[in-house]
Amino acid sequence: MNRRELLKRSAAAGFISAVPFSLAALGDSGRIAGSNSSGSVAAPNPLKPPKSGRITVAFPLSRGVVDIDFTGPWAIFGSVMLPGGDMTSPFHQYSVAETGAPLVTGSGLTIVPDYTFETAPQPKVIVIPAQKDSEAMLQWIRKSSVGADVTMSICVGAYVLAKTGLLDGKSATTHHDAYKDFAHEFPKVHVVRGVRFVEEGNLATSGGLACGIDLAMHVVERYFGKHVAEDTSYNLEYQGQGWKDPNSNAIYAQTA
């Protein structure tokens, strides 16, 4: 059985359920993508894959990280297959942490980081899930974002990205329960409500939890076009359409 057939039979196996998390605990440490200023859906801004080699995707992680925030995008990027390719994903993914010691996620999954912040290669995509940050993590994100195509936060991972200062003067979104608190803590960031994700320049932020899957799908489309993204979605039996229309999160627009 080749990789494509396996994906068609068991695509959902890589997804891990989200767990409850505390915004207070995590707090201790532009342009709406796919739409224009009038709110109508526009074509995504394309990204150029490298001429050779794979697209490196880094996931900075710390103890207590929310599982679905990184396993969702990881499953999307890892499931992309190019037409006529060798069934190997064009994305090379790895985890990065302050040390190489095993860390336990919010739901009890044990992760052994692939690299430390000192040894990690330069990524083209950075995925920041909801978690406690550290100064070492913030410094690594600031430095690595300079050479990245996309630096993206998932859910209240937006707090981590905002603490770097990279979102100052830009638009961003986060989990709907955090809109008010996020706006209060980061007054220089314009909070966009009721969207699946927002992008501005090489920065992107998603709404809560499962919105990260749609943002990852959107990044796939930016690199390889709608056909490859739709093929990935089909093979995963993912019926969500939020990656095609980020404005489809309107039910949360009026959340306090």
Contact 248, 242 (CB under 8 A): yes
Chain centroid to CA 156:
11
CA proximity to 61, closest of 108, 17, 117, 21: 117
73: CB partners within 8 A, 6+ apart: 59, 127, 152, 154, 212, 213, 215, 216
Residue 56's pLDDT is: 98
* Tokens standing for residue 150: 């996309």
Residue 256's pLDDT is: 58
Residue 233's pLDDT is: 97
Residue 198's pLDDT is: 97
Residue 32's pLDDT is: 53
Q: What beta strand segments (E) does 173-248 contain?
A: 190-191, 197-200, 203-206
Question: What stretch of H or E contains 77?
Answer: helix 67-78
Distance between CA atoms of 118 and 140, rounded to whole angstroms?
8
Residue 168's pLDDT is: 98
Residue 172's pLDDT is: 98
Q: What beta strand segments (E) does 138-238 contain?
A: 150-153, 171-172, 190-191, 197-200, 203-206
Please report, for residues 62, 89, 217, the alpha-carbon distance to residue 227 in angstroms, rounded to integers and kept in the order given. Answer: 35, 15, 12
Q: Which CATH number fits domain 53-252: 3.40.50.880, 3.40.30.10, 3.40.50.1360, 1.20.120.160?
A: 3.40.50.880
Residues of the chain with pLDDT under 70: 1-43, 255-256
DSSP string, 94-112: EEEESSSS-EE-TTS-EE-
Q: What is the pTM of this model?
A: 0.86
**What is the per-residue pLDDT across 38-68, written as a single tens digit (0 to 9) for each?**
343 455 789 999 999 999 999 999 999 999 9
